[in-house]
A and B are shown apart, each in its own frame.
Chain A
């Protein structure tokens, strides 16, 4: 993708739809737009390829999945995989559990993250730089390195193999705080200052001014947290033993290992595990746009 494309498309948000603003479109812009479309189409195809393969494989007879050379389309379409996986496994339980975890974790992460981010971004309290650095530092440590000490800590208070363990594990990450702080930093100080002059408390400024302004970033944080919680395998693997608590990733992996060479089934599971995130993502997309509307800024 050339940088020309970028520069040519930047000015377009200036609102060509407004009739009195209409002017001659320069040819460079047209070329830029065409390149933009071509780039989008090329990248889409490239990006979707593995997903297509995953989907097509889920419908193949098992021995065609890993055929060499690669075979794209099944010789017989096995739609029944999608029925079988529901009847053979506890898919419904796993889905419900995962939705529960993902929703709670996302709510907690978005709320506590944006709340703390406000503190870090807008209140100059003693020690905030140090604290903030510590937050970032922990992001640099791979979870596998401190997994066992953490597990011992959680077990010591009797929370392993409970719903709490997964919620606690995911909800207080440094990521959300860092992300929201950086977004708050872009919001001009004058806005919160104006709020203070109007007699708003700090909480009032957060609630009335900051939150409505941060729609797109909150949506991004929510989408990412939801996706990460949804796709987490190692956390549930280490913390959960009761089958009634299984999440979709853990359940699928265990289910699949029972049919250790049933690759079509593995792909069926993978496709099903992706679909709910897509739905969340599409809803989140709308939020992007809604966020802009409430903030009164036109993207």
Chain B
């Protein structure tokens, strides 16, 4: 399988090689061969061999357990299948159904709504916290632990506490809001406010997690760079934009992609907090897939919806890829 892919992508590797000096990853030059004869083919073959050796321990497991089952979705999406027996091909029927399915449309919209607010909010907060914790503040070790707490606290407990905090009548949040406005929102019981409430909890839960990833990236920036920049008379803000951000680009790219995919795939939170309700106001795509598959036993249609989710994620990821490369070039 992997060999095959190698052949398919022959030209790309050469292109990679020629333009390779741009990105940090592409910058690797051909290994020096002491005998002197420079043979592009031999190097390319050697790189392929070495590359495959390095990726294979993970790749073999990945093919068997993730890739193969995922690929079956491309087949199952065109079938009727209740998880039992063999899927029965039914052409584009699932896709026609998808085009009329208002619940599906609602769930796409809800997912985009969640992502558009959650992603920037989480990224900015997590980055701010990471920068803060990368400084010499006292108590940062304690705070790093604290910030990671929401991610490890049981989601059931978290949902429960937040449910109480958001309680429209007796909850502390509305008691506080009543000091300023007479009619605070109904939060989880209101179709307009349930999603904002879910976003708040989602952000609360994930900020610490992304902070850890960003912190790990910050830790690898050599302090010499800051010292040099300081000698050039730059202020903190300039150093942040001209040293931290560019050095963090690969990490930021990773965080952006996982955060995006994670937001589009959000499931457990709405499952526990609102179960998609009231009505379908917090029903997101992944939960719709989950419902179609497990509540309705319709794995064929669930696969169809999954492919749409996959396509949306891929488009967004490719745009990020493209933007990332643009910045690097």
Contacts and interface: CB of A to CB of B under 8 A. Distances in A.
Partners in one complex: yes
B134 A119 contact: no
B164 A70 contact: yes
B275 to A, nearest CB: 15
B153 A50 contact: yes
B310 to A, nearest CB: 5
Interface in A1-56: 1, 3, 5-17, 33, 36-37, 39-40, 43-44, 46-51, 53-54
B208 to A, nearest CB: 7
B48 A216 contact: no
Interface residues of A, number: 125
Contacts of B212: 220, 223-224
B58 A177 contact: yes
Interface in B129-166: 129, 131-132, 134-137, 139-141, 143-154, 156-158, 160-162, 164-165
B114 interface: no
Contacts of A188: 24
B181 to A, nearest CB: 21
Given A172-B66, A217-B217, A277-B152, A267 B157 contact: yes
Interface string A239-251: 0000000000000
A255 interface: no
Nearest to B169: A69
Contacts of A134: 67
Contact of A196 (B32, B47, B132, B261): B32
A53 B162 CA distance: 10
B28 A50 contact: no
A173 interface: yes
Interface of A: 1, 3, 5-17, 33, 36-37, 39-40, 43-44, 46-51, 53-54, 57, 66, 68-70, 111-113, 115-116, 118-131, 134-142, 144-150, 153-154, 168-169, 171-179, 181-189, 192-193, 196-197, 202, 206, 213-214, 216-217, 219-220, 223-224, 227, 231, 266-267, 270, 273-274, 277-278, 281-282, 285, 288, 291-292, 295, 297-299
* List of 3 A-B pairs having minimum Cβ-Cβ separation, nearest first: A125-B51, A119-B54, A172-B61
